[in-house]
Amino acid sequence: MASRRKILIVSDPGQGNINPSLRLANCLLKIGVEVTICTSVYGVKHIKKETIPQGLTIAPFFDGHDNGKQPTTTLQQVVLDFGSNGSRAVAELLSSATAAGKPFDYVVYTVLLAWVAKVANAHGVKSALFWGQPAIILQIYYYYFNGYEDLINGCKDNPTLQINLPGLPSLTTADLPSFLSPSRPEEHDFFLQIAKDHIEVLKIFPKILVNIFNELESESIKAIDKFEYIPIGPLVPLDRKDTLDNSVGQWLNTQPKSSVVYVSFGTLAVLSMEQVEEIGSGLLKSGRPFLWVIRDGEQARKLSKIDVLKKQGMIVNWCSQVAVLSHEATGCFLTHGGWNSTLEALVAGVPKVVFPQWSDQGTNAKLIKDVWKTGVRVEARKEDGIVEGKEIERCVELVMAGDREMRRNAEKWKDLAREALKDGGSSAINLQAFLNDA
Ligand code: UDP
C-alpha cells in the first residue's frame, strides 16, 4: 500500500491567511493526507481551538513578535522577522522529517512567504503557493512585472483610463490592487517587492492552489499559461448557524426575511471617526434594520447618534459572520470586500455593497460589481475619500430595493459554489489531482 501523502503548510500568521490554511488542512486530512501547519507563536495563539481539525500537527516558531505587531515596530520589520526565523524553522522541519525517513511530499505556503519555495527547493521538496485572493490579482502583478508597468503607471494622471491586460476584464485605477495604485504610500513599495518575489518564484514553481472554484474566474485563470492554477475553494465554513451569538441570534430571529443590512469591515481596516459617523447616518437614512460590527469600542461609544442607531439596529464588536450571513433575515452585506468576506457572502447568496479599503479589495469590488454582478460599489468624495451617508443609503437601497437581477445572480453563484464543494465536485477533484501529482 502506498504511504500516506505528507504536506507541510507554511502560513502567514494573520487571521485572513491562517483560517483558510486551517480549512485547507481540514480538506487534506479528510482525504487521508498527513498535514503539519507551521506559523509563528503569535499565529498559533490566535487559532480558535474549535477550528483545529483532528489529526493536524502544529509547528510554531518564535519570530520575536509573540504578541503581534506593536506600535513601535513597522509591518515591514514584522514580515522580515517572520521570514528569517521562519526559514530556519521550515528548513529544520524538512530536514528532520527526511532524517526520520518520512519526508514531506509538498510544501504549501501562503501569500507574503515566497521564500518558502526556495527553502523547499533547497531540500529537494516540491512547493505550491496557496493563494487566498482571486487569481486576477496575481495575473495583474504578473503583467505589471512583465511588460505592462508603463501601461499601468500611465493611469496616474487619468483615473478613468481603461487598462486592458490580456485575458482580463478591462480595469481602471480603482480596480487595481492598492499596491499598484498611483496614490499608494511609499511604505507599500515593500509589499510590491513581495509581489514581485512571488511572481519570480512562480515562474520556476508554477503550481497555485487558489481559493476559488472553476467557474468563478474561468477566464482569468487561463490568461497566463506559465501559471498552473488549481481552484480548490471556496474554503469557507458553510452555514454554521450553531455558532450564532445568543443576543445576535435572538435579534435576527425577530427580523423579517432578507430585511437586515449586515455591516462589517473585517479584522484589519481602521476607519476614521468621520467615516464611521457617515456610515451611521447612511444606515439611519435607509431606515432599515442593521447589524453593525464596530471593532473599536471607543468609536462605537463616541457615535453622535448612538441612541437612535440602537433603536433601529444592533451594534456589536464581533459576531460570527458566517452564521449571520446564512441567517435568512440578512438581506445585504456592507463590506470592505476582503476575500474571505467576499467568499462567505457568495456561498450564503447575500448581495453586497462594497466599500474597499486596500490590497485586493478594489479588485474584488470590480469582480463583484461588473463580473459576477452580485453587488454595487460605493463612490467616495473626490477631495478626501470619505463616503458620505447619502451614498451609503443610495447603495444599500440599490441592493435592497433595486432590480432583482443582483439577488438572482447572488443565488446563482451560491448554487455554483456549493456544487463545487460537494463530494465529487470540481474543487474536490482538483485537489485530488494535485495530490496524485505530489
Ligand atoms: N469576521 C467575523 N466576525 C466579525 C468580523 C470578521 O467572523 O465580526 C471574520 C469573517 O468571517 C472573515 C474574516 O473575519 O472570515 C475577515 O477576513 P477578510 O478576508 O474578509 O478581511 P480581513 O480581515 O483580512 O481584512
Judge whether residue 304 has pLDDT over 50: yes
Mean pLDDT computed over every residue of the chain? 95
Q: Is the CB of 86 under 6 A from ligand 1?
A: no
From 15, 48, 262, mutation site for ligand 1 pocket: most ligand atoms within 8 A of C-beta: 15
Cα distances from 8 to residues 28, 39, 62, 157, 402, in angstroms, run 11, 11, 18, 45, 47
Q: Say what the pLDDT of residue 159 is.
A: 80
pLDDT band at 237 (very low <50, low <70, confident <90, very high): confident
Which class is 2-237+423-437 in CATH? alpha beta
The conformation of residue 425, written as its DSSP 8-state character, comes to: S
Find the helix or strand (DSSP H, E) in which 249 lies.
Answer: helix 246-253
What does the alpha-carbon distance between residue 389 and residue 422 come to, in Å, rounded to a whole number? Answer: 41
- Percent of all residues in the chain with a pLDDT value above 70, rounded to a whole number: 99
Reported as a pLDDT band with limits 50, 70 and 90, residue 330 is very high
pLDDT in tens, 271-288: 999 999 999 999 999 999
SS3 sequence of 12-80: CCCHHHHHHHHHHHHHHHHCCCEEEEEEEHHHHHCCCHHHCCCCCEEEEECCCCCCCCCCCCCHHHHHH
Average pLDDT estimate for 8-14: 96
CA distances from 310 to 87, 257, 266, 316, 363 (A): 49, 20, 21, 10, 33
Q: Tell me which residue has its CA closest to atom 14 in ligand 1.
A: 266
pLDDT interval class at 1 (50, 70, 90):
very low
Calculate how far, in angstroms, residue 395's C-alpha sits from the geometric centre of ligand 1.
21
Percentage of residues of the chain with pLDDT beyond 90: 86
CB of residue 132 inside a 6 A radius of ligand 1: no
Q: Which CATH superfamily is domain 241-417 in?
A: Glycogen Phosphorylase B; (3.40.50.2000)
For the chain, the structural domain boundaries read 2-237+423-437, 241-417
Dihedral Cα 386, 390, 391, 392, nearest 10 deg: 90
- Output the CA 92–ligand 1 centroid distance in Å: 32
Atom of ligand 1 nearest to the CA of 16: 24
Least confident range of 41-55, 206-220, 236-250, 374-388? 236-250
Given a cut of 90, whether residue 238 has pLDDT beyond it is: no
Number of DSSP helices (H) and strands (E) in the chain, helices first: 17, 13
Q: Are 202 and 210 in contact (CB under 8 A)?
A: no
The best mutation among 321, 330, 336 to test binding of ligand 1, ranked by most ligand atoms within 8 Å of the C-beta, falls on: 321
- What separation in Å is there between the alpha carbon of 51 and the centre of ligand 1? 15
Strands (E), 137-247: 207-210, 228-231
Sign of the alpha-carbon dihedral angle for 247, 250, 256, 258: positive
Q: pLDDT tens digit string along 193-202?
A: 999 999 999 9
CB 397 within 8 A of CB 391: no
Q: Would you state the pLDDT for residue 279? A: 98
Give the residue with greater pLDDT, 4 vs 34.
Answer: 34
Q: Which atom of ligand 1 is nearest to the CA of 342?
A: 20
Instruction: Judge residue 435's burial from the number of C-beta atoms within 10 Å of its C-beta, 0-12 exposed, 13-18 middle, 19 or more buried.
Output: middle
Measured from the CB, is residue 340 less than 6 Å from ligand 1? yes
DSSP 368: I
Going from the Cα of 340 to the center of ligand 1, the distance in angstroms, rounded, reads 6
Whole-angstrom Cα distance, residue 358 to residue 354? 12
| Dist. CA 84–CA 67, nearest whole Å | 18
The whole-number pLDDT of residue 2 equals: 55
Q: Is the CB of 322 under 6 A from ligand 1?
A: yes
Encode pLDDT of 417-431 as tens digits. Answer: 999 999 999 999 999
Distance 270 CA to ligand 1 centre (A): 13
Domains 2-237+423-437 and 241-417 share a fold: yes
The residues with which 148 forms a beta bridge, in sequence order, are: none
pLDDT of residue 248: 96
Residue 243 pLDDT exceeds 80:
no
Task: Identify the pLDDT of residue 245.
Answer: 84
Residue 89: the pLDDT is 98
> Averaged over 70-77, what is the pLDDT?
91
- State whether the Cα torsion 228-234-236-238 is positive or negative: negative
Sheet bearing 228-231, strands edge to edge: 57-61, 34-40, 6-10, 106-110, 126-131, 207-210, 228-231
What would the mean pLDDT of 183-188 be, rounded to a whole number? 81
Q: What is the pLDDT of residues 333-372, one digit of tens each?
A: 999 999 999 999 999 999 999 999 999 999 999 999 999 9
Report which of 369, 352, 331 is spatially closest to residue 266, judged by C-alpha positions. Answer: 352
User: Is 128 a residue whose pLDDT tops 70?
Assistant: yes
Q: 3-class SS at 421? A: helix
CA distance 275 to 394: 16
